[in-house]
Amino acid sequence: MQDIHAQRILILDFGSQYTQLIARRVREIGVYCEIRAYDMNEQAILDFAPKGIILAGGPESVTEVHSPRAPAVVFQMNVPVLGICYGMQTMAEQLGGKVSASDEREFGYANVQVETAGALLKDIHDDLQADTCSLNVWMSHGDKVYADA
């Protein structure tokens, strides 16, 4: 029998309305995960000993003064970190990237082309054509991550 605790994932929540759905999908592939607040104590993160960390989204803007950040230990543990929405933006900012307000706010339907569907996206698709898979998603963003030219 598989030990579901062998691949523990920690999900740090920044207030996203989709965090529970993210956790559900992780659990559906047989991986134990827990959702905790983004300001979880660093020692508690180390004690949890995750094999990977997901930084979920939230309504804040990384560009605002005193906006939430992931604990620094997240990036020092040598485990994979997946940032989704705000989580990706704070990860970029904290690791030296640039985030700024976008000239255009994105809100509504988008179609994402899946190039390589790993276990997380297994059997999730909205449209299959030949060797391609696409997902219909809902997005709401006012910030962007960019690289200096």
Q: Sketch the domain layout of the chain as residue ranges.
A: 4-146
The list of the chain residues with pLDDT below 50 reads: none
pLDDT of residue 40: 97
Nearby residues of 53 by Cβ (< 8 Å), 6 or more positions away: 9, 10, 11, 12, 74, 77, 79, 80, 81, 82
pLDDT of residue 122: 67
| Rounded Cα distance, 122 and 142, in Å | 30
pLDDT of residue 140: 67
pTM here is 0.79
- Give tens-digit pLDDT for 100-120: 777 776 666 777 777 766 776
Closest to 54 in 3D by CA, of 6, 22, 96, 92: 22
> Which CATH class for the 4-146 domain?
alpha beta
CB 31 within 8 A of CB 7: yes
